[in-house]
């Protein structure tokens, strides 16, 4: 019995963990020794692993080996994975064969996935990936442009039942395929339809990925590495949603510009780049090249600090492994040399980076040191070559300690001398130096505190450096939290934000920008002028033209520099504070750093970035203040209240002397400081907020608290916030010191990391953008609904189809710019527009006027009719108005629409279908007007004709509405062809053909009579009367009414002379003729159920487009 060779160590309802005899504790026994000896002498390929796990299905005598291991640790990991991911799931199955099949399928999937990932890591020929790609293309039938990024083995839960299969992640869709127990299951969800992507848990599984759309939730679990899968899904969802829904401001990395070229490695690189730029507050266009583990010599601690080096286009940065221990930012513009040192046992692979301010940084333990140094020198050379003037000037600067004082920092006389004349009108020093006001207390009470702070900072500078390259440690964070001294604030803001690098590398840029932008009028300048006197009106610096003029110049110059942002409210408040503490040009570069790096996407028309951070703030409230979140059901109220906190960095709702301390923390720690301070404010007022009765009371609680935050150490005179100036509340209120509030924020919430914020932003951006899409949709429906007969439900479905047609075209090779088709800056009804090909696809899906092969031609004519401004694009409102006539119009409206589709501009000279005129015996004008019916009776159409002409005369006299142009014979032939095509496969097809033959003959003869009457008229009138017609007609035989008068033109083979009047027929002629045939009336008055069309279109839209693309390719 083979089982005697194994000893059971663990077991449960389904799995057994066993150890082979001769391995482990019982090796001393005879049996164990024998088995161990046998195992030892066997060939290595035949040796049996000493540990294994068996699958034992209850009630079955069959055991299946599903795992093996060489060590206890290895087999224990497998056992834990089975318990966490499979054990609770198996109880769902009733059939023991199903259990065995499910477990084996899962294990095989994991093995295949692990093998695939190893191939990818080794950069070998990825045969497994090719195999997966073929299966993906076969199973989902997408065009070749739908690039597969990666795939994972997992389970998709459906009604508490897991389906084992494969998750495919492509550039536009997340797809799942399963073939289980003879049943095939397919799922394809566009990334752009996802409302929420999150990790969650359920009763059966501890960790799942949940995808939420407007209609459903889908849970996926049992991943080999759920962290990796979720990160890739987050990146793909973020890229696709922003590319398609936020193209107004979203700029992709160069490697991601072409979606069909995106790879899994590109996504991982993008995530790393975004974290790097957010962590060190660097420009968006700075690309990361190397990430290396190393150690940095930190002289203040007299040891090497272990961490990570990040080398990018323009920077070398360092972050210690212990968060906050030591960070470093070195702009390559400050570097004068990068050198390799001698390799020793104490200093392995060292390099020295020297900067202009007589500082040097030593890095050791660098792998591939030679390659790093070579790349750094290449980039350093490129940077110096891009601005040789700046390089030469700085190279020859006197690098003595005096350079570090405030005067030397702010002048740069040599650099700016070229444009000195232009800068003569700019403010040469910060406004606070000109309009400085001390507090009401004596200098002896507050100024010594400032002097103490300055002394502490000077000591810090001596040890840690006084440049942008200073060592950033926990000590400097504590100094910042205490409040930066007034005399050093502007300088340190420039260092912490690295605006000083931009300032140095762009000499004369700001003055040239001011010269170009001043005096030019646009919407931004009008808004700036309105807000100039609302910017810190309580401060004396902005109560005179000096401060106002500087503010105007900075804001106007920035609007000129960045038209995408232009000017946004709250920028005036931020800029006015920057001007207080920095020179005018420095303030401009600080504003650039805030708008373009530190608060990305905040200052634009839709303030997407601010809304994303409000959503992140809500999640942080739930995590960090659960009791408050439990009492306040709608946290969006707190988020909306806090919007101004983020947009103005608390400057608009807190006294200025306190708010500048918040700005200090913001420049050092970035948006993290605002999040943690916001949480501290809510925490301090949690009890009162929980007891508040409504939103208004909550707003008052927070407003009063913020207005009474004081800065006891500030030398400035107290200046309240704008809100506080307008509030006459004189009741006594407890005062909070800003230093205490900031200290509490760091102690309680300082563990919030930049990486955590970035991940949360990525998730919540999807939700915010989808909320904007929902708002757009509701506004469009509100505008369109009163003018059409569709139900709101059908109209909503039509909007989704219209929008999806645009998106599907973007997926697979739309030509032209997406911005033209989706422009959020336009009015709501014009956000999405489609071109001719997209409209044709949509028309074929939802039109009730299907004409076989003629349908596409009719769709093109309809597009030309709707494209009134002839820009090649139409919006949703026009499409719905057209469909409304098609489905709910009366016969007169439908015929008028068809009529308009067959005259210019809908019918063009280049219309493909017009090149060969329709020739059909039914259109011969020699046919008599008496049509024999099946029962042998005849119908006299002469009486109908006479009455019709009389009615037309009366209608002409009324002139109730603007007449439609008359239709030529060529246009009329196309009109008839459309009608014939529309009747194909109709249940009453024969009757309709007979009726249209009669009407066509009648109209042809009316047109020819009108042509003859117009030719013989001497008065120039193009009309003819019933009496004219009667004079030409013979009364002896009703059949000869038209046959005699039309003999000559029908028999003549000569073309009509050029001067002859063209054959014409009017809309009224056509309508009246069609009304004579009841079968035609029934056809056009017949109600058509659009719901069936919509349901079919919803199912077939993507598949229809896929097939079409495949055929085209």
The model's pLDDT over 998-1045, given as tens digits with 9 standing for 90+, comes to 999 999 888 888 777 766 654 444 444 444 434 443 333 333 333 333
CA distance 670 to 658: 18
- Mean pLDDT (whole number) for 780-792: 94
Task: Give the burial class of 58: count Cβ atoms within 10 A of its Cβ; 0-12 exposed, 13-18 middle, 19 or more buried.
Answer: exposed
Q: Using the predicted structure, report yes or no on whether residue 419 has a pLDDT greater than 50.
A: no
Residue that wins the pLDDT comparison between 947 and 747: 747
Q: DSSP 3-state assignment of 813?
A: coil
Q: Is the pLDDT of residue 415 over 50?
A: no
Rounded CA gap, 899 and 229, in Å? 57
Q: Does the pLDDT value for residue 726 go beyond 50?
A: no
Strands (E), 464-517: none
Q: What is the mean pLDDT of residues 209-231?
A: 91
Question: What pLDDT score does 116 carry?
Answer: 47
DSSP 537: T
Of the spans 15-29, 621-635, 836-850, 1014-1028, which averages the highest pLDDT? 836-850
Q: Are 687 and 628 in contact (CB under 8 A)?
A: no
Greater confidence (987 vs 398) lies with 987
The contacts of residue 810 (CB under 8 Å, 6+ apart) are 244, 818, 821
What residues are paired with 214 via a beta bridge?
A: none
Lowest mean pLDDT among 117-126, 357-366, 783-792, 985-994: 117-126
**pLDDT for 273 beyond 60:** yes
The strand pair at 15-20 and 1064-1065 is best described as unpaired
Distance CA 383, CA 314 (A): 8
Q: 148-158 and 161-170 as β-strands: parallel, antiparallel, unpaired?
A: antiparallel
Question: Residue 418 pLDDT more than 90?
Answer: no
| Burial call 211-249: b when 16+ CB within 10 Å, e when fewer | bbeeeeebbbbbbbebeebbbbbbbbbbbbbbbbbbbbb
Lowest mean pLDDT among 237-241, 254-258, 766-770: 254-258
Rank 727-731, 745-749, 816-820 by mean pLDDT and report only the highest: 745-749
Which of 38-42, 902-906, 1093-1097 has the least mean pLDDT? 38-42
- Residue 955 clears pLDDT 70, i.e. is over it: no
Q: Is the pLDDT reported for residue 358 higher than 90?
A: no
- Whether residue 525 is predicted with pLDDT greater than 90 in this model: the reply is no
Q: Report the pLDDT averaged over residues 1104-1113.
A: 43
What share of the chain in percent tops pLDDT 90?
A: 46
Share of the chain above pLDDT 70, in %: 78
**925 pLDDT higher than 50:** no
Per-residue pLDDT, 1029 = 39
pTM over 0.85: no
Omega within 30 of 0 (cis) for the link into 905? yes
What number is the average pLDDT over the span 225-237? 92
Among residues 456, 454, 474, 457, which one has the least CA distance to residue 298?
474
pLDDT above 60: residue 45: no
**In the numeric block, which tokens belong to residue 400?**
């003595």
Summary mean pLDDT of the chain: 80
Residue 778 has pLDDT above 90, yes or no: yes
- Tell me the per-residue pLDDT of 603-632, one tens digit each, with 9 for 90 and over: 888 888 999 999 999 999 999 999 998 888
CA separation for the pair 239, 568 (Å, rounded):
26
Cα 289 to Cα 497: distance, rounded to the nearest angstrom: 22
Q: What's the CA angle centered on 375, arms 371 and 377, to 5 degrees?
A: 120
Q: Work out the average pLDDT over 649-673.
A: 94
Among 33-42, 321-330, 432-441, 541-550, the least confident range: 33-42
Cβ count near 959 (within 10 Å): 8
pLDDT (0 to 100) of residue 35: 52
Residue 1113 is predicted with a pLDDT of 32
Closest CA to 60 of 105, 109, 7, 101: 101
For residue 914, pLDDT beyond 80: no
- For residue 487, what are the contacts with CB-CB under 8 A and spacing of at least 6? 406, 450, 454
What are the E-state strand segments in 647-722? 709-710
Q: Are strands 303-312 and 63-69 parallel, antiparallel or unpaired?
A: unpaired
Q: What's residue 694's pLDDT?
A: 83
Q: How far apart are CA 660 and CA 578, in angstroms?
A: 10
Contact by Cβ (8 Å): 769, 241 = yes
**Residue 449 pLDDT more than 90?**
no
Mean pLDDT across the stretch 295-324?
A: 93
Task: Quote the pLDDT of residue 950.
Answer: 60
Check pLDDT > 90 for residue 430. no
Lowest-pLDDT range of 126-130, 303-307, 360-364: 126-130
According to DSSP, residue 403 is labeled G
Most confident option among 535-539, 596-600, 663-667, 727-731: 663-667
* pLDDT per residue as tens digits for the range 496-511: 999 999 999 999 999 9
């Amino acid at each position: 019995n083979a089982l005697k060779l194994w000893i059971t160590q663990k077991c449960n309802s389904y799995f057994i963990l066993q150890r082979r005899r001769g391995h482990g504790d019982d090796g001393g026994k005879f049996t164990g020794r024998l088995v161990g000896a046998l195992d030892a002498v066997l060939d290595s390929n035949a040796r049996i692993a000493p540990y294994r796990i068996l699958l034992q299905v209850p009630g079955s005598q069959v055991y299946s080996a599903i795992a093996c291991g060489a060590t206890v640790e290895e087999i224990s990991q497998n056992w834990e994975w089975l318990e966490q991911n499979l054990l609770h799931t198996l109880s769902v199955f009733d059939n023991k064969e199903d259990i065995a099949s499910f477990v084996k399928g899962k294990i095989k999937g994991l093995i295949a996935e692990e093998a695939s990932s190893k191939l990818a890591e080794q950069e070998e020929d990825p045969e497994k990936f090719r195999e997966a790609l073929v299966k993906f293309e076969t199973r989902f039938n997408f065009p070749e442009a739908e690039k597969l990024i990666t795939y994972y083995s997992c389970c998709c839960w459906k009604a508490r039942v897991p389906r084992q299969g494969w998750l495919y992640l492509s550039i536009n869709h997340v797809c799942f395929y399963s073939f289980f127990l003879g049943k095939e299951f397919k799922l394809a969800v566009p990334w752009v339809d996802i409302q929420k992507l999150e990790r969650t848990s359920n009763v059966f599984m501890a960790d799942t990925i949940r995808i939420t759309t407007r209609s459903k939730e889908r849970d996926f679990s049992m991943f080999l590495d759920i962290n990796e899968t979720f990160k890739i899904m987050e990146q793909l969802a973020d890229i696709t949603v922003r590319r398609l829904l936020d193209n107004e401001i979203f700029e992709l990395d160069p490697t991601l510009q072409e979606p069909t070229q995106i790879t899994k490695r590109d996504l991982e690189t993008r995530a790393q780049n975004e974290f790097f730029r957010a962590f060190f507050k660097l420009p968006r266009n700075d690309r990361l090249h190397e990430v290396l583990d190393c150690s940095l010599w930190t002289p203040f601690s007299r040891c090497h600090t272990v961490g990570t080096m990040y080398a990018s286009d323009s920077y070398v940065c360092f972050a210690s492994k212990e968060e906050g221990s030591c960070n470093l930012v070195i702009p390559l513009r400050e570097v004068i040399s990068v050198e390799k040192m001698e390799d020793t046992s104490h200093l392995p692979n060292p390099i020295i980076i020297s900067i202009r301010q007589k500082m040097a940084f030593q890095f050791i333990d660098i792998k591939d040191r030679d390659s790093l140094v070579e790349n750094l020198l290449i980039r350093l050379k490129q940077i110096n070559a891009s601005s040789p003037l700046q390089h030469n000037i700085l190279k020859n600067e006197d690098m003595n300690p005096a350079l570090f004082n405030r005067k030397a920092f702010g002048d740069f006389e040599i650099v700016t001398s070229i444009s000195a004349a232009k800068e003569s009108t700019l403010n040469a020093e910060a406004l606070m130096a000109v309009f400085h006001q001390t507090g009401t207390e004596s200098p002896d009470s507050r100024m010594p505190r400032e002097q103490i702070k300055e002394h502490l900072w000077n000591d810090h500078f001596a040890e840690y450096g006084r440049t942008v390259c200073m060592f950033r440690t926990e000590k400097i964070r504590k100094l910042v939290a205490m409040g930066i001294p007034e005399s050093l604030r502007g300088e340190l803001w420039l260092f912490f934000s690295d605006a000083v690098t931009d300032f140095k590398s762009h000499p004369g840029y700001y003055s040239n920008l001011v010269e170009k932008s001043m005096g030019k009028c646009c919407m931004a300048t009008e808004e700036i002028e309105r807000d100039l006197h609302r910017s810190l009106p309580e401060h004396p610096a902005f109560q005179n033209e000096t401060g106002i003029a500087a503010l105007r110049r900075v804001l106007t110059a920035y609007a000129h520099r960045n038209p995408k942002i232009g000017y946004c409210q709250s920028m005036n408040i931020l800029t006015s504070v920057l001007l207080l503490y920095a020179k005018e040009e420095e303030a401009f570069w600080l504003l650039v750093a805030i708008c373009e790096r530190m608060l990305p996407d905040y200052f634009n028309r839709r303030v997407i970035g601010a809304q994303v951070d409000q959503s992140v703030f809500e999640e942080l409230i739930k995590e960090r203040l659960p009791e408050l979140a439990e009492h306040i059901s709608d946290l969006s109220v707190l988020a909306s209240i806090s919007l101004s906190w983020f947009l103005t960095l608390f400057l608009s709702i807190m006294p200025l002397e306190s708010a500048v301390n918040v700005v200090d923390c913001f420049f050092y720690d970035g948006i993290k400081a605002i999040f943690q301070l916001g949480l501290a404010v809510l925490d301090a007022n949690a009890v009162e907020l929980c007891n508040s009765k409504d939103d208004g009371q909550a707003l008052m609680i927070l407003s009063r608290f913020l207005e009474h935050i004081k800065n006891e150490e500030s030398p400035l005179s107290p200046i309240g916030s704008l809100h506080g100036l307008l509030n006459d509340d004189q009741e006594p209120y407890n005062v909070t010191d800003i230093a205490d509030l900031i200290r509490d924020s760091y102690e309680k919430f300082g563990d919030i990391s930049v990486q955590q914020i970035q991940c949360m932003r990525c998730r919540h951006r999807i939700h915010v953008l989808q909320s904007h899409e929902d708002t757009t949709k509701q506004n469009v429906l509100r505008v369109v609904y009163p003018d059409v007969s569709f139900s709101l439900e059908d109209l909503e479905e039509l909007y989704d189809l219209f929008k999806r047609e645009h998106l599907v075209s973007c997926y697979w090779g739309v030509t032209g710019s997406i911005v033209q088709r989706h422009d959020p800056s336009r009015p709501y009804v014009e956000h999405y527009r489609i071109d001719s090909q997209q409209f044709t696809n949509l028309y074929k899906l939802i039109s009730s006027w299907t004409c076989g092969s003629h349908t596409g031609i009719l769709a093109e004519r309809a597009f030309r009719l709707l494209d009134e401004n002839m820009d090649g694009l139409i919006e949703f409102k026009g499409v719905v108005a057209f469909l409304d006539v098609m489905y709910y119009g009366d016969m007169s409206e439908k015929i008028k629409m068809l009529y308009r589709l067959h005259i210019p501009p809908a019918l063009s000279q280049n219309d493909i279908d017009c090149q060969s005129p329709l020739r059909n015996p039914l259109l011969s004008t020699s046919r008599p007007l008496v049509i024999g019916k099946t029962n042998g009776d005849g119908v006299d159409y002469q009486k109908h004709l006479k009455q019709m002409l009389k009615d037309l005369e009366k209608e002409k006299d009324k002139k109730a509405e603007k007449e439609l142009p008359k239709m030529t014979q060529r246009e009329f032939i196309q009109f008839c062809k459309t009608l014939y095509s529309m009747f194909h496969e109709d249940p009453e097809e024969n009757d309709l053909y007979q009726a249209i033959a009669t009407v066509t003959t009648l109209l042809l003869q009316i047109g020819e009579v009108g042509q003859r009457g117009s030719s013989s008229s001497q008065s120039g009138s193009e009309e003819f009367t019933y009496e004219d017609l009667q004079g030409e007609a013979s009364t002896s035989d009703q059949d000869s009414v038209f046959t005699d008068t039309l003999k000559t033109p029908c028999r003549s083979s000569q073309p009509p002379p050029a001067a002859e009047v063209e054959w014409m027929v009017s809309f009224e002629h056509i309508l009246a003729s069609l009304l004579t045939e009841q079968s035609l009336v029934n056809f056009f008055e017949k109600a058509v159920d659009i719901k069936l069309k919509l349901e079919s279109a919803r199912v077939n839209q993507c598949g229809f487009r896929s097939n079409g693309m495949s055929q085209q390719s």
